[in-house]
Amino acid sequence: MLVLTRKGNQSIMIGDEIEITVLAIMGEKVRIGIEAPRSIAVFRKEVYIEIQRDRAAAEDPTAVDEALERLKSSD
């Protein structure tokens, strides 16, 4: 893992097409902006993990049934 220190309005480049900019620092929270081509999907990690779970469930029909049961029981 590469660890860098940046201040507000400073950026990091990933390759030639992805720029990550520190927009604001508010206490323990950092607001970042990501500029990337539309062909590159950008997700928060927790959303990405959920997408991967959904894809795996779609490949396994029993997992879909289990997910539906969980949804029914959460009502």
Per-residue pLDDT for the chain (75 aa), expressed as one digit of tens each?
Answer: 999 999 999 999 999 999 999 999 999 999 999 999 999 999 999 989 888 888 877 777 676 677 777 777 765
Q: What is the value of pTM for the model shown?
A: 0.67
Q: Name the residue range of residue 73's domain.
A: 43-75
> Same structural domain for residues 28 and 8?
yes
CB 6 within 8 A of CB 22: yes
Residue/partner pairs of 58-65 with CB below 8 Å, 24 or more apart: none
7 shares a domain with 20: yes
Q: What is the pLDDT of residue 53?
A: 85
pLDDT at 41: 92
Number of folded domains in the chain? 2
Please state, in angstroms and rounded to a whole number, the distance separating the CA atoms of residues 65 and 13: 43
